[in-house]
Amino acid sequence: MANYYVHYAKHATLTGSVVDTVNLTQPASYILVSNRSVSGTPIYFTIGDTLDTTADPVAAGDNTFALAPGITLQVPFDGSQSVVKLISADTQSYSVMVV
């Protein structure tokens, strides 16, 4: 499990079946999450206010957002800081940004 603390953006690669946690310290109106890979399995993610209250995602699990390869999703969010947790069944490249 990788745990990152960044101001407004993180670009990384998931290891299959391992949760990455991105802690964003910049206040956000929206969080933009991109699956930068062009093939493979979807990335599943959850968003919350704190590390403790943000659920760990499960690949193909309920109550997660899903991103197919090459897809970007903009999620409304109103918080002073945010946590995004991501997982995929295989290796996928992603970006998480405050906008």
* Domains recognised in the chain with CATH numbers: 2-98 (2.60.120.1300)
Cβ atoms < 10 Å from Cβ of 27: 13
64 exposure class (CB count in 10 Å sphere: 0-12, 13-18, 19+): buried
Separation CA 31–CA 75 (nearest Å): 5
Residue 56 confidence (pLDDT):
96
Beta carbons within 8 Å of 24's beta carbon, 6+ residues apart: 6, 7, 8, 10, 31, 81, 82, 83, 84, 96, 98
- For the chain, list residues with pLDDT below 70: none
Residue 60 confidence (pLDDT):
93
- Name the pTM for this structure: 0.95
Separation CA 43–CA 9 (nearest Å): 17
